[in-house]
Structure formats: C-alpha cells, structure tokens
Amino acid sequence: MFFRYYVSDFGRTWGFLNDYLDSPNAPAHITFGIEAVSLAFLSHQVSSQTARNLGRRKYCEVLRSINALLQTPGAAQAKSTFEGALLLDLFEKLSKSASAIGDDKHTHVAGAFALVKLRGVESFTTQEIAAVTGLSLNGTLTALSTGRATDIIIRQIRHHATQFLDTSDPKWKLTGLILEATGLAASVLHGTITSAEKISRNNYLDTELTAIADSASPFWTYISHPFPNADPNLHHLSLTHRSPNVEHPPPNPDPPL
C-alpha cells in the first residue's frame, strides 16, 4: 500500500526506495525504515493501533541500526545513511498530527541536514537530487511552522540543484518564494525588520506570485463552482476575492428547488 499510494504519488522524492524494494542487499536500517513507514502509512489510512505499535517498534530498530552504523568510520557520508534519516522523519510525519509535531519532532530534519553538510552538498548527484531538494522544502516548511529562520544549507541545496533541474518550472519558482516568505515571517516574528522593509518584501512576493500565476500552464488552473443550494452570502464573499487563474462563475439566479 505504501509503495502503491505514497511512493508512486511522490516518486521524484521517494523514488530511491524502489531500489530497495524486496532487495536482499538492502541495509538493515533501510529495511526497518521501509517497514516502519509502511506500517505508519497503513495506520494513518485505516486507524489501526496494531499497525501503529508495530511501526513504532520498527522505528526504534531504525534508530538503533543507524546509531550503531554511525560508529563506523565513513558511515555518516554514506548515501543509505542519509536515506535512513529521511525515512525517520517521514515516519514522524505520518505518525503525528500537524498539531502534535512540535520543535522536538523536527530533529530528524536537522539530522538529515547535518548529514548533508558532513557529506557536502556538491556530492549529491542527479539520482539523489530529488531526495535532497525534497528535504530542502521539508526544512523550509519546518522553519515556517516554528517561526525560525531557515538553515543556510537550504539555499546551498537549491543553488546546487539548479544544474540538474528546470528552474523555469513553476513548482521550482514557487518553492523559492516559499523560502523567501519563510525568511520574511521569521524576521517579522523576531522584530528584525522595519515596516518599510516588510512592505517592500511583501510587494515583491505579491509581484512574483502574480507572475507565476500568469505564466502557469492550464494544468495549474482550476474553476470553482458554487453548490446549487449554498448560502448566497457565502458565495458572494468568495467572489470578492479573486485569485489569479481562478474563474468564479456567477451564481445561478434561479437555483433548483
């Protein structure tokens, strides 16, 4: 279920797991990690306490395996060690509600960044770039949710990724704006920015978002339709706020009874 419905949907980020599927040569911490996230995903889908408990046990096995592995010289720079850290974080994300994920639940993101720094951003290849850029977005959203400034490694990852990815892709541009907005939010929260700077940076973000919306393909557009019996006042409110590339059809003057 996990591979069919999760890995397939987010294949660019988690496609590396396919290399380990049913592989007798997969490292122990990767095998345990796949089992842990698979059980967490199952528990999330069907609310199974049994799957949740088994997943937690596998998660503990991953922690023990990685901790033992890190005692080996050079293991911290290994590709599979980084991938194991990603699995640990994914398990936490699948196992916790958004409200339950506090600062202490973002330690695996920080751990994965530490491995990237130790290994060196420039060492990540074409085959690994999707996973590490996925981590950079994860780290950006983590910083946004906690009100912290983003780690400098995120910008380094994005700079390195430009040689492998299509930087004209709206998704790439949008994640860059999320990074800028996260930095702005942290500056506002901590009072390290003037009112004039806030206005200037917000105007910049608005302009860039509009440019992305205007240049996006039809695949990015959508149409919102009111329910026939919806409260007309609620529909009227939605009409007063028009987003780029969003069509709001006028309400039906004679809704069916």
Identify the pLDDT of residue 217: 78
Q: What percent of the chain has pLDDT over 90?
A: 65
C-beta of residue 80 within 8 angstroms of C-beta of residue 112: no
Q: What percent of the chain has pLDDT over 70?
A: 82
pLDDT in tens, 222-256: 666 666 766 665 544 443 333 333 344 444 444 43
pLDDT score recorded for residue 81: 96
Helices assigned H by DSSP within the chain = 2, 11-14, 28-46, 49-69, 79-95, 107-119, 129-146, 152-161, 170-189, 195-215, 232-239
Mean of pLDDT values over 105-117: 90
Model confidence at 134, pLDDT cuts 50, 70, 90, reads very high
Cα dist from 126 to 7, 129, 131, 132, 142, whole Å: 19, 5, 10, 10, 25
Q: Given the DSSP bridges, would you call strands 222-223 and 246-247 parallel, antiparallel or unpaired?
A: parallel
Of 36, 43, 12, which is closest to residue 84 (Cα–Cα)?
A: 36
Cα 59 from Cα 220, distance rounded (Å): 37
Look at residue 242 in the predicted model and tell me its pLDDT.
Answer: 39
**From 47-51, 82-86, 134-138, 222-226, the region with the lowest mean pLDDT:** 222-226
Q: What pLDDT does residue 123 have?
A: 95
pLDDT of residue 104: 59
Q: How many angstroms separate the CA atoms of 191 and 208, rounded?
A: 24
**Higher per-residue confidence, 200 vs 222:** 200
Tokens 């003057």, located at residue: 253
Check residue 232 and give its pLDDT. Answer: 60
| Mean local confidence (pLDDT), 78-102 | 83
Q: What is the mean pLDDT of residues 11-28?
A: 88
The full length of the chain comes to: 257
pLDDT higher at 11 or 94: 94
Q: What is the pLDDT of residue 59?
A: 96
- Is the whole-model pTM more than 0.85? no
Average pLDDT over residues 39-57: 92
Q: What is the mean pLDDT of residues 19-45?
A: 93
pLDDT at 198 over 50: yes
Residue 227, pLDDT score: 67
Mean pLDDT rounded to a whole number for the chain: 85
Identify the burial level of 162 via C-beta atoms within 10 angstroms of its C-beta, where 0-12 means exposed, 13-18 middle and 19 or more buried: exposed
103 has a pLDDT exceeding 70: no
